[in-house]
Chains A and B, each alone.
Chain A
Amino acid sequence: MMIFMEKSKCLIVAFLLFTISSCTKDIDLNLNDSDPQIVVEGSITNDGESTVIKLTKTVNFDESNVFPAVENAIVSIIDDLGNSVILTETSPGTYTSSLYTGSSGRTYYLTIEAEGKVLTSVCHLTTAVSFETLTVNEVSSSGGGPGGGNMTGYEVLVAYSDPVGVNNFYRFVEYVNGENKGDIFIYDDRLSDGLTVENSLIKFNRNLNSGDTLRIEMQCIDKAIYTYFNSFENLTGGPQSSSTPANPYSNINGSELGYFSAHTTEVKEFIVP
Chain B
Amino acid sequence: MKIIKLFFLLLFFSSKTTAQTNWIMSGTITDSLSGETIIGATVAIKENPIIGTASNDYGFYSLSLLEGSFTIVISAFGYHKEEVSIDFKQDKFLDIQLLPEGKMIGEVEINATRSNDNVTSYEMGVERLDLNQIKKIPVLFGEQDIVKTLQLLPGVKSLGEGNGGLYVRGGDNSQNLILLDEAAVYNVNHLLGFFSTFNSDAIKDVTLYKGTAPSEYGGRISSVLDIKMKEGNNQKFHVGGGIGLIASRLNIEGPIVKDKSSFLISGRRTYADLFLKLSSNDAVKSNKLYFYDLNAKFNYKFNSKNHLYVSGYFGRDVISFADRFGINWGNATGTVRWNHIWGSKLFSNTSLIYSDYDYEVKIMRDVDEFSLNSIIKNWNIKQEFQYFRNDKSTFNFGVNSIYHVITPGQVTTSGDSDIIPIELQDRQALENALYFSNERKIGTRWNMNYGLRLTSFSVLGAGDFYSYTDGEISDTASYKSGEIVKTYVNLEPRFNLSYILNEKSSVKVSYTRNTQNLHLITNSTSSTPTDIWISSSNNVKPEIGDQISAGYFRNFSNDQYQFSTEVYYKAMQNQLDLKNGAEIRANEHIENELLVGKGRAYGLELLLKKKTGKFTGWVGYTLSRTEKQIEGINDGNWYAARQDATHDISLVGIFDITKKWSISATWVFNTGNAVTFPSGKYELNGNVEFYYTERNGYRMPTYHRLDLGATRYLKKSEKFESSLSFSIYNAYGRKNAYTIDFEEDPNDATKTKAVMTYLFTFVPSITYNFKF
Contact = CB atoms under 8 A, between A and B. Distances in A.
B697 interface: yes
Contacts of B19: none
A59 B681 contact: yes
B452 to A, nearest CB: 38
B690 A29 contact: no
Interface in A49-80: 56-62, 64-67
Interface stretch (A12-20, A106-114, A262-270): A12-20
Given A23-B758, A234-B581, A244-B676, A5 B361 contact: yes
Scoring B281, B526, B695 by chain A CB atoms within 10 A of each residue's CB, the highest score goes to B281
Interface stretch (B22-30, B380-388, B735-743): B735-743
Contact of A182 (B686, B738, B741): B686
Interface string A184-221: 00000011110111111000000000000000000000
B524 interface: yes
Interface residues of B, number: 89
A230 B523 CA distance: 13
A58 B528 CA distance: 34
A65 B581 contact: no
A117 interface: no
A247 B321 contact: no
A145 B287 CA distance: 9
Contacts of A57: 682
A192 B750 CA distance: 42
Contacts of A242: 524-526, 528
A171 to B, nearest CB: 11
Contact of A65 (B372, B737, B750, B761): B750
A206 B411 CA distance: 29
Contacts of A257: 682, 684, 691
Contacts of B759: 17, 20-22
Contacts of B480: none
B281 A28 contact: no
Contact of A23 (B367, B681, B753, B757): B757
Contacts of A8: 325, 327, 361, 530
B755 A27 contact: yes
Interface stretch (B170-178, B223-231, B348-356, B415-423): B415-423
A231 B579 CA distance: 9
Interface in B659-684: 676-684
Interface in B556-606: 580-581, 583, 585-586
A226 to B, nearest CB: 10
B750 A234 contact: no
A242 B325 CA distance: 19
A2 interface: yes
B322 A65 contact: no
Contact of B321 (A144, A239, A244): A144
A222 interface: no
B373 to A, nearest CB: 13
A90 interface: no
A67 B361 CA distance: 42
A249 B701 contact: no
Given A25-B755, A39-B684, A196-B418, A143 B283 contact: yes
19 contacts: A4-B368, A16-B162, A21-B759, A22-B758, A23-B758, A29-B677, A34-B679, A144-B322, A144-B325, A148-B283, A149-B283, A191-B420, A192-B418, A198-B367, A235-B581, A237-B678, A242-B524, A245-B677, A245-B692
